[in-house]
Amino acid sequence: MSLFTTIYDVIVVGGGHAGSEAAAASANMGAHTLLITMNLQNIAQMSCNPAMGGIAKGQIVREIDALGGYSGIVTDKTAIQFKMLNKSKGPAMWSPRAQSDRMQFAECWRTMLEQTENLDFYQDSVNGLLFDENKIIGVKTALGLEIKAKTVIITAGTFLNGLIHIGDKSFGGGRAGEGASTGITEDLVKKGFESGRMKTGTPPRVDGRSLDYSKMIEQPGDEITEKFSYLPTSKALTEQRSCWLTYTNLNVHDSLREGFDRSPMFNGRIQSTGPRYCPSIEDKIDRFATKDRHQIFVEPEGWTTCEMYVNGFSTSLPEDIQDKAIRSIEGFENVKFLRYGYAIEYDFFQPTQLKHSLETKLIENLFFAGQINGTTGYEEAAAQGLMAGVNAALKTQEKEPFILKRNEAYIGVLIDDLITKGTEEPYRMFTSRAEYRTLLRQDNADLRLTPLGFELGLASKERLDRVIEKQRKTDLLINFLQKTSVKEAEINPILKAKNLALINQSMKLYKIAARPQLEFSEFNNIEKVKVFLEENNIDREIIEQAEIHLKYAGYIEKEKNNADKLNRLENVVIPSSFNYSKVKSLSYEAREKLNKIQPTSISQASRISGVSPSDISVLLVYMGR
Ligand code: FAD
């Protein structure tokens, strides 16, 4: 049955973080898009922690924003606390993080999507896929509808055959209070896809009115707040809500251990792998048995709600054990539970089955994005969603795919890692995964990506103009610093205050500004600097750009050179369906892996585990190099 007469350009299945960005991107690129999701009230629902950003993830949100995605704008509009993490380290490590109002976040996303042209919505559950040979042509829904499309993006998150566990209870579900999704995995497996199982977990939510904050340590947001979106319409927070820090103790651990025999993690009911870097509390006390306490951050779920997220206490132990153990945490003696913690197992698909465009290798016009690809985290999901949305739209316009390189964006690193290496456990981004992290900073995502987003038709002219102006002013300031000298009398008081060696002749400002011990703001009282900044309307963002440029010029140059060298290998293209089995001088392991992954370039081949430098030399000879 089909009540839908339209053949859509793009159907997005699932309105989570990946699906929402995918729908926005494809619709904004002019593709007639339908977002089908199980519950229209839960668009971009934060299943776990009500926070966006954090180490490496904050960079991703800024990249999404720079390209013209919505996650940064929504986060700014709904934030209740902001922190720039790692500010004491170099700028490559600075990572913005914001706590969000969970309910406002979902509402704001829905409003933004409703204001997007070319985008239709439909609430139903997709339970089957329509194929014409090895092409997707639409979807089937639980209500029995068939809806046709040129391309389909699946972003089903943790819902595919989702199984929720609390203690010895297990039941089907995609997230607390929501049903699982069935039919999609089965249809894909019939077409030859390889599926696997992963798991993740979430902590209890409690009534903030039942907690004793006098026993906890207040964690306020940053005094100087920043924002995620580069758009001037997005504003940094002026008011914030505090979080609170407390700790587990040996009594808490003993109570938790009492439930281990009923834990689905330890009694074998959960077999699948969970996120290594977000372990459950039972996992932490088991793996780090000598540690007598673990941090617990108590985080408000919004501006007005009393609901608190107990960060660090993710668990699937039985309710009575959760209840008893948590009461031994300082400040939680009289706690009232709103929701118990739980774990969930779900299907994922090895991302090595995808091309760089996130289109599947087996079925043309079918794209996967988000947790279905073995990742964890809203930011990782949103980034893939945006890229899948862009590439599905480009496919319908018969244009080449849009692929970001590893030296251009964390999004490039994320997708390249996934499709080249696959993942055996939920994949999350870290700065250490990016070999060019000095280039991929949160402060310059707009300079790196907005011109590309504009070319695609995704980032607005307003964004591009802002980037051009930012670059112009940064160059102007650097030029001023390079040309302008300061006298001893102007600079020595600043150096003296910092116990630094004084100068005995006038010196160019850029040489002094490059010193790691000095911050540019310390020069603001030098008259000629003050006048220049005022006359040219130079703000903090521009000063930061110029300062990073001067202080880290050596590192930036080195990474650019390395990237250029690697990009030369990126240009050595391997023809599609190249038969590695015929190349007997390749190692057996390399042949097997190369045949499976089918890399598109020598550079990608070199990143596959099991492919050695000598295998690469062999391939280079074959490619005529
Ligand atoms: P989701 O946000 O899960 O969205 C999927 C959407 O698709 C939902 O709206 C759903 O209704 C819809 N949908 C699914 N199937 C269908 C269908 N067949 N038809 C129509 N609509 C469908 N991340 C972390 O980084 N750290 C954590 O500690 C963490 N813990 C988590 C704990 C739990 C219990 C859960 C559920 C998730 C956790 N996550 C965690 C993961 C985080 O929520 C996801 O990474 C992120 O939400 C993935 O985004 P997504 O868009 O891929 O999927």
* pLDDT confidence of residue 374: 97
Tell which phi-psi region holds residue 539, choosing left (phi > 0), alpha (psi between -120 and 50) or beta: beta
> Tokens 């372990």 — which residue?
279
Average pLDDT value for residue range 363-380: 98
For residue 495, pLDDT over 90 is answered with no
Question: Ligand 1 centre from 513 Cα, in Å?
Answer: 46
Ligand 1 atom nearest 372 alpha carbon: 52
Percent of residues in the chain assigned helix, strand, coil, to nearest 5: 40, 20, 40
- Alpha helices, DSSP H, located in 248-312: 250-257, 281-287
Residue 60: CB partners within 8 Å, gap ≥ 6? Answer: 379, 380, 382, 383, 410, 411, 414, 429
Gap from CA of 346 to ligand 1 centroid (Å): 10
pLDDT at 617: 85
Mean pLDDT of 486-494: 86
- The pLDDT tens digits for 35-84 are 999 999 999 999 999 999 999 999 999 999 999 999 999 999 999 999 99
Amino acid identity, residue 195? S
Who has greater pLDDT, 411 or 2? 411
Q: What is the distance between the alpha carbons of residues 449 and 383, in angstroms, rounded to a whole number? A: 13
Give the Å distance between the CA of 398 and the centre of ligand 1. Answer: 31
> Residues 298-332: pLDDT tens digits?
999 999 999 999 999 999 999 999 999 999 999 99
Which is it for strands 169-172 and 135-141: parallel, antiparallel or unpaired?
Answer: unpaired
- Span from the CA of 392 to the centroid of ligand 1 (angstroms): 21
What are φ and ψ of residue 599, in 5° steps? Answer: -60, 150
Is 395 exposed, middle or buried, given 0-12, 13-18 or 19+ CB atoms closer than 10 A? buried
Q: Which two tokens stand for residue 470?
A: 């930012």
Q: Say what the pLDDT of residue 16 is.
A: 98
Residue 1 has pLDDT above 70, yes or no: no
Interface predicted TM-score (ipTM):
0.98
Instruction: Look at residue 122 and give its three-state secondary structure.
Output: strand
Q: Residue 586: is its pLDDT beyond 80?
A: yes
Contacts of 11 (CB under 8 A, 6+ apart): 33, 34, 36, 138, 139, 147, 149, 151, 152, 153
45 CA: nearest ligand 1 atom: 2
Phi and psi angles of residue 294, each rounded to the nearest 5 degrees, phi first: -130, 150
Cβ 75 vs Cβ 53: under 8 Å: yes
Q: Mutate which of 155, 283, 384 to test ligand 1's pocket (most atoms within 8 Å of Cβ)? A: 155
Question: What's at 243, amino acid-wise?
Answer: C
Residue type, 36: I
The candidate with the shortest Cα–Cα distance to 387, out of 14, 16, 24, is 24
**pLDDT exceeds cutoff 80 at 103:** yes
Report the pLDDT averaged over residues 159-168: 96
User: Residue 556: which pLDDT band, with cuts at 50, 70 and 90?
Assistant: very high
Averaged pLDDT, 221-247:
96
For the stretch 413-433, pLDDT in tens is: 999 999 999 999 999 999 999
Percent of the chain exceeding pLDDT 70 equals 100
Tell whether residue 175 is among the known ligand binding residues. no
In 263-417, which ranges are E strands?
295-300, 307-311, 337-339, 342-349, 366-368
User: How much is the pTM?
Assistant: 0.94
366-368/146-154 β-pairing: parallel
Q: 337 pLDDT exceeds 90?
A: yes
- Tell the residue nearest (CA) to atom 47 of ligand 1: 378
> Taking a C-beta distance cutoff of 8 angstroms, is the pair 66, 449 a contact?
yes
Give the SS3 label for residue 140: strand
Q: Which of 4, 5, 36, 1 is nearest to 20 (CA)?
A: 36
Which of 171-185, 326-340, 550-564 comes out lowest in average pLDDT?
A: 550-564
Report residue 344 as tokens. 């969930």
276 marked among binding-site residues: yes
301 is in an annotated binding site: no
Helical packing angle, 445-456 and 57-67, nearest 10°: 40
Q: Model confidence over 260-313: pLDDT tens digits?
A: 999 888 888 888 888 887 889 999 999 888 999 999 999 999 999 999 999 999
Q: Ligand 1 centre and the CA of 78: distance in Å?
A: 20
Alpha helix (H) residue ranges in 327-409: 378-396
Give, using CA atoms, the residue closest to atom 40 of ligand 1.
377
Cα–Cα distances in angstroms (integers) from residue 304 to residues 45, 348, 409, 537, in the given order: 18, 36, 36, 38
Cβ neighbours of residue 121 under 8 Å, at least 6 residues apart? 34, 35, 37, 40, 113, 114
Q: Tell whether 318 is in a known binding site.
A: no
Nearest alpha carbon to residue 523 among 483, 492, 554, 479: 492
Band (pLDDT 50/70/90 cuts) for residue 158 is very high
Compute the average pLDDT of residues 443-449. 97
Which residues have CB under 6 Å of ligand 1? 13-19, 36-39, 42, 47-48, 125-126, 155-159, 174-175, 181, 184, 200-202, 275, 278, 344, 370-371, 376-378, 381
> Are 284 and 202 contacting, i.e. CB atoms less than 8 angstroms apart?
no
Averaged pLDDT for residues 487-516: 86
**Ligand 1 centroid to residue 28 C-alpha, Å:** 23
pLDDT score of 2: 66
Domains and CATH numbers, the chain: 8-44+102-200+346-433 (3.50.50.60), 205-342 (2.40.30.260), 461-564 (1.10.10.1800), 572-623 (1.10.150.570)
